[in-house]
């Protein structure tokens, strides 16, 4: 249940803040996707703890958004925050030499993630994919990058192409934003996910000008597409034959699904890997790691000329949070807990859809799930997600929010679970879903 604080001081705070935001912040929030939270009513959040998100009006929600996914251990996690605070006490940024913390986190990535031999840190997933592509372009001398419909790799011009193309633009290079560099878009090739023949043909045809193939090994930007083994294996074989670096964007999956990434589950090892989000339980920290010959290009001497820079790269609170998050995930086997909990949410929701005769499906993997209305069967490609009923999802999100459960009202996105979610959240969520689905 959404707990409401009816004291007038609290409820009176929401409207003025939202109004002020709308006047001076485009869309009234930091990104278009954040602005979508207004779909279900004015909202400004002020605090979060465990699995609970609280608005400036004192309304509390069970949070399934978790900051777009990073919050794997729960909001305001005591040990992670204590580690970050200790780093703050020693000064947040030196910008010179190395630090014990960056060595320790890099060593953990090398130990845990199969493809990672060397590591460079940055602050966000977009930076990580940008750096990975630059390393791949430098190594191959080629410019083109192949990506897949329905995969998101960040906001930069190299990759913000054909993430959510409209039905009549499938198969094209569809720029997701105005203002993008057309030369960058032209150098971004697009293929359907999970189609080994299509990808093999494109890589063969472009073997002379392809710099990299990048994918979310489990595309969660469209809920969840499970990769076919044959698809991943073909990708690995063909890129190897043609000397094209394969980049796994594990920004969502890394440390959320497994400390080893999806690459640890599927036994396909890419050349480069990007991690962010769950790596730092919400602190801005990200990394590109991979084959040492690729990473070593950024070594800074004259013969190896890739520039990877960033004032805040390796900033200490983020690295301290990452070290603590990784150690907690591994020590507590958080993924085993979350996989079981995720299965129960998915099964419960699927049963409810059936009980209420609502056309739809529940998809997901481990701690991630999505309910998609108006579509059935297991989705394998972006096109399989396209027909979903957006209006129904909005109605569902709205009803759930009224009952105290928050997730982004974007029908293509996903719910996340954290180690702070438990049985009580599960029961309360399913009770609410039961009531909302009865009304849909």
- Contacts to ligand PLP by CB under 6 A: 68, 124-126, 129, 152-154, 216, 221, 249, 251-252, 276
- CB nearer to ligand PLP: pick between 216 and 384: 216
> To the nearest whole angstrom, how small is the minimum distance from the Cβ of residue 345 to ligand PLP?
20
Where helices occur in 125-187 by DSSP H, the ranges are 125-140, 182-186
- CB nearer to ligand PLP: pick between 68 and 412: 68
Q: Give the CA distances from residue 166 to residues 171, 382, 383, in Å, rounded to whole numbers and listed in that order.
A: 10, 10, 10
- Give which of 223, 153, 150 is closest to 390, Cα–Cα: 223
- CB nearer to ligand PLP: pick between 264 and 348: 264
> To the nearest whole angstrom, how small is the minimum distance from the Cβ of residue 68 to ligand PLP?
5
- Give which of 14, 23, 9, 82 is closest to 54, Cα–Cα: 14
Catalytic hit among 144, 147, 277, 413? 277
**343 phi, psi to nearest 5 deg:** -60, -40
> To the nearest whole angstrom, how small is the minimum distance from the Cβ of residue 203 to ligand PLP?
21
Catalytic hit among 61, 64, 130, 152? 152
Report how far Cα 289 is from the mean position of its chain's Cα atoms: 17
- CB nearer to ligand PLP: pick between 35 and 426: 35
Where helices occur in 261-386 by DSSP H, the ranges are 262-266, 292-295, 316-332, 334-355, 383-386
**Catalytic residue status for 152:** yes
Secondary element (H or E) of residue 144: strand 144-148
Q: Are 291 and 115 in contact (CB under 8 A)?
A: yes
Q: Which long-range contacts (CB under 8 A, 24 or more apart) does 47-56 make?
A: 48/75, 48/76, 49/74, 49/75, 49/76, 50/74, 50/75, 50/76, 50/418, 50/420, 51/75, 51/418, 51/420, 51/421, 51/422, 51/425, 53/406, 55/14, 56/10, 56/13, 56/14, 56/17
> To the nearest whole angstrom, how small is the minimum distance from the Cβ of residue 266 to ligand PLP?
16
Q: Give the CA distances from residue 353 to residues 280, 372, 373, in Å, rounded to whole numbers and listed in that order.
A: 35, 10, 9
Catalytic hit among 63, 157, 249, 384? 249
**Catalytic residue status for 4:** no
- CB nearer to ligand PLP: pick between 8 and 309: 309
- CB nearer to ligand PLP: pick between 326 and 368: 368
405: Cβ–Cβ under 8 A, 6 or more apart, which residues?
A: 2, 61, 62, 64, 428, 429, 432
**Catalytic residue status for 333:** no
- CB nearer to ligand PLP: pick between 75 and 403: 75
Give residue number: closest CB to ligand PLP: 125
> To the nearest whole angstrom, how small is the minimum distance from the Cβ of residue 193 to ligand PLP?
13
> To the nearest whole angstrom, how small is the minimum distance from the Cβ of residue 404 to ligand PLP?
25
CA gap 352, 337 in Å, rounded: 23
> To the nearest whole angstrom, how small is the minimum distance from the Cβ of residue 34 to ligand PLP?
12
Catalytic residue set: 152, 249, 277
């Amino acid at each position: 249940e959404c707990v409401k604080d009816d004291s007038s001081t609290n409820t009176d705070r929401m409207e003025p803040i939202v109004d002020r935001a709308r006047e001076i912040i485009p869309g009234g929030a930091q990104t278009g996707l954040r602005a979508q939270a207004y779909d279900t009513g004015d909202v400004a959040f002020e605090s979060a703890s465990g699995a609970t998100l609280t608005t400036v009006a004192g309304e509390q929600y069970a949070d399934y958004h978790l900051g777009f996914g990073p919050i794997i251990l729960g909001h305001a996690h005591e040990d992670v925050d204590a580690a970050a605070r200790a780093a703050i006490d020693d000064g947040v940024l030196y910008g010179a030499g190395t630090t014990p913390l960056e060595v320790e986190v890099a060593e953990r990535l090398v130990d845990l993630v199969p493809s990672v031999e060397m590591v460079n840190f940055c602050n966000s997933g977009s930076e990580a994919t940008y750096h990975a592509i630059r390393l791949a372009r430098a190594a191959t001398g080629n410019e083109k990058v192949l990506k897949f419909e329905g995969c998101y790799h960040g906001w930069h011009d190299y990759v913000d192409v054909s993430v959510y193309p409209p039905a009549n633009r499938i198969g094209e290079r569809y720029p997701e934003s105005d203002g993008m560099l057309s030369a960058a878009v032209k150098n971004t090739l697009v293929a359907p996910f999970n189609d080994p023949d299509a990808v093999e043909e494109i890589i063969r045809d472009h073997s002379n000008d392809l710099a990299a193939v990048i994918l979310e090994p489990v595309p969660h930007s469209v809920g969840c597409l499970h990769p076919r083994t044959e698809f991943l294996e073909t990708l690995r074989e063909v890129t190897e034959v043609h000397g094209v670096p394969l980049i796994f964007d594990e920004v969502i999956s890394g440390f959320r699904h497994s400390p080893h990434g999806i690459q640890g589950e599927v036994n396909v090892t890419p050349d480069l890997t990007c991690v962010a989000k769950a790596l730092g339980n919400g602190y801005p920290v990200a990394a590109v790691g991979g084959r040492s010959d690729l990473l070593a290009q950024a070594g800074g001497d004259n013969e190896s000329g890739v520039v990877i820079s960033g004032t805040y790269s390796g900033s200490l609170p983020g690295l301290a949070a990452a070290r603590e998050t990784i150690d907690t995930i591994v020590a507590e086997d958080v993924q085993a807990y979350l996989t079981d909990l995720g299965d129960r949410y998915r099964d419960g929701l699927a049963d409810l859809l059936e009980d209420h005769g609502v056309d739809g499906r529940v998809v997901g993997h481990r701690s991630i799930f999505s309910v998609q209305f108006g579509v059935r069967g297991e989705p394998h490609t972006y096109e399989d997600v396209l027909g979903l009923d957006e209006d129904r999802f909005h109605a569902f999100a709205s009803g759930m929010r009224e009952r105290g459960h928050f997730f982004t009202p974007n029908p293509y996105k996903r719910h996340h679970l954290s180690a702070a979610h438990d049985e009580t959240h599960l029961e309360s969520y399913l009770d609410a879903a039961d009531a909302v689905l009865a009304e849909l």
